[in-house]
Structure 1
Amino acid sequence: MSDQTRTAKAAAPAETETALVFSVLKTVHQDLFQDAFASRPLPPRPEPRPGGRLHRLPAGIRHRTRWTPHALIGATAMFAFLIGLTKGMGFGSLGGAVTFTTCCLAAAPIALVLLRPVGAYWISYSGVLLSLLHGQEWAAMLSLLCHVVVMVLVVLRTRPRLAAEMWSVTLMSGSLLSALTPGTESSDLPQFAVASAVLLVAAGAVRAWREERRHVVASETVKEQERAQRTVLEERATIARELHDVVAHHMSVIAIQAEAAPYRVDQTPPELATSFATIRENAVAALTELRRILGVVRSGDPDPFAETDPEAPQPTLADLDTLLESVRSTGLDAEAVVTGAVRPLPQGVELSAYRLVQEALSNVLRHSPGASARVEVAHVLGGLGLRIVNGSPDRPATPSPGAGHGVLGMRERVQVLGGEMTAGPTDDGGYEVAAFLPVHTPASESSADGGGAAGAGDGKEVAA
């Protein structure tokens, strides 16, 4: 091995250590010196969460509790000032002005932490050095105790790594001052080093825990918003698939009637036959476009056609008895009450009403075991009213997997139809879901649909 190689290998660790030292010094400079006296006011605490103990207080008192940390820090600073003033006046060696100045340098930085935390540390640090130089034991003790309080508050307000930086700067300069100035008070430095180290480690741990907790809360909030958004998108995709079946039925009827109409009239005028042919072509084109758009919606599903019977018609309120029999077989005591004059409704309203009842009963099974359920369907003027209410459960519910956004999906269905919905707990410990689905279809439209469906067998079948 050549001498140059040995020299290079010996120099590499030295360069690494030098870079590490410069990196540490740069970090200390950024934390303790750069913008040390910049204004960083402590904001008030957030409003108490609904349901908590503080939220039950009156609004005025609840608002004042947001400033509790500021009041505690201010009270601590005032207490330290008064204690120091009392102790200082008990010794005849110091004048009133000197005692007042010493107490201010010790106690004022505690309150200054609320506005300029790093600057408060340097002012408190200066007070410690002056008290050590002066040689009065009570002044040194007061300054050291207040300095520990200041460092703990600075760590809680900024970041955990400042604990090691402030502790090192304070101890090194204090030890150096004691060594260079024989008359300074240094007997308390070892006890101060141990006690401050323990307190600063605890403060750093608390600060790190708070940051981690804040990060977890923020992450959970983002995840909850993403789950809610995904639930809305999934519900919209389901609605799009179901509306496809509804619209495709009517478009098929139009296409069939348009194709069959010329054969029902003797000597059909060419212009009328051309119009019917155009209607049929447009209906078939609309069905093709509808199916193409549905394919785009279904492309995001992992298994979009994983249904028991893909060709089965979409359910309506006429299938409500079958749904109730299905849930009764699981042990749920459910009943249905229908009021008002039952009349034909648009397929979209019928389908959405059935899905609302289905989801509400599923929620009863999952979250209210042993409770009874009641389904009320009211055919009223201008729309359809739904109310699904259950009693209180007789045993705790078993945790079930899933995002837990069934109510959000029901709201999405109601909003698509321009209706209104409310959901919430009842006074007896149960849960209630109430919705109103408006119906704007004239009565003549239902009769026209019936006539079209009756004559659909005379033409060719058009499948969507």
Structure 2
Amino acid sequence: MQLAPARPPHRDDVRIAAVGLLGGLVLWAFGLGMNPGRLFNGSWLLVPLAAMAGLELLRRTRPWFALCAGTVVLAADQCTQGSLATVLMYTDLVYAAVLYGSPAAARRIPVGSGLLTVGSTLGTLAVWRQPEALLIGVAVGLITFAPATTGVLVRNHREAAAAERLRAEQTALLAEMDRTQAVTAERARMARELHDMVANHLSAIAIHSTAALSIDDAATTRTALETIRENSVDGLAEMRRLIGILRDSSGDTEPVAAPTLDGLAALVEHARTNGLDAALTLTGTATGLPAPVELAAYRIVQESLTNALKHASAGRVPVVVACSDDRIEVRVTSPYGDRDGPRAPGSGAGLVGMRERTALLGGTFEAGPLGAEPGGAAGEKVWRVRAVLPLENPVPEREST
């Protein structure tokens, strides 16, 4: 087992040791001792003085060892004339042992020094039976108990300050995490809105432009170009509106009201002008509904019609929106199979956006091929989109268009 290299003494500890040693030398030079007439007089007091100064170098790196060794040195100092500098450095070792020592030492040293103070007071009083014996207890308390309690107060203050700094750092970290999550969620929301607003127009443009290029008929080409122009103008207007809102940070721009179920008829009619045989069935009461739920239902219908325009085979596309007391159910079905006409490319982002919208509201979402729809042609397969949006405690999602 390899021992860790010893840490060098802190520069403040070096200064304390130097000042204590120099002060003791000055007191000795003037012949100022605390215990005249002891066993070892003269320069003998310099030995514990130098030893105590050396232990001061360990007050921060090895506080418990310095305190134990300092106690022995202090006892040896009492056999000499004694130096006030030695006693003062010992009180600093008691203080440092509480401040820099282990938590167990910080708890035990004040208790031990307090018991020592009380014991020495009662013991000397019992032996001498003189009031002056109380001074011994006071001296012991000043040397041991006072610096120990001071160390406890300073240590508690430092620990409280460190805990506050840690709490502040954790708060800042949590705030940064919340900000990052908010930015990510906002970017995802903007991506969904941008996709839902523009994809319908661009899909119609792609399909009709392909038809105009592939069919050599002047009337068909003119109709396709008119549809292309209408969708490009509408898409450009919506793009400009979104970009204007994103660029304006002054708060002067008023956002357009979020779409509601009342706009589904116009949405389906627009799909019919693009060549989709869509029909709307709206049941239940569509008033007084939570705005986030209405927005989600509208966008799901919009994206479903866009997907049908891009991928569905020829046939009817029924749109059913059923409103009840606790939920809104959206069902859009379209013929599923080989497509004779032009097909627009898809990326799958629309299904992801619809699923995200439903999940944010705590609802359920399904999309995929099924068997024949009731009332449909025999053997016909359909693609169905079904979303159930609860009306209780909807998660708000702001409309940015």
> Which category of TM-score, normalised to the shorter sequence, fits these structures?
0.3 to 0.5
TM-score (norm 2): 0.45
TM-score (norm 1): 0.40
State which structure, 1 or 2, has the greater radius of gyration over its C-alpha atoms.
2
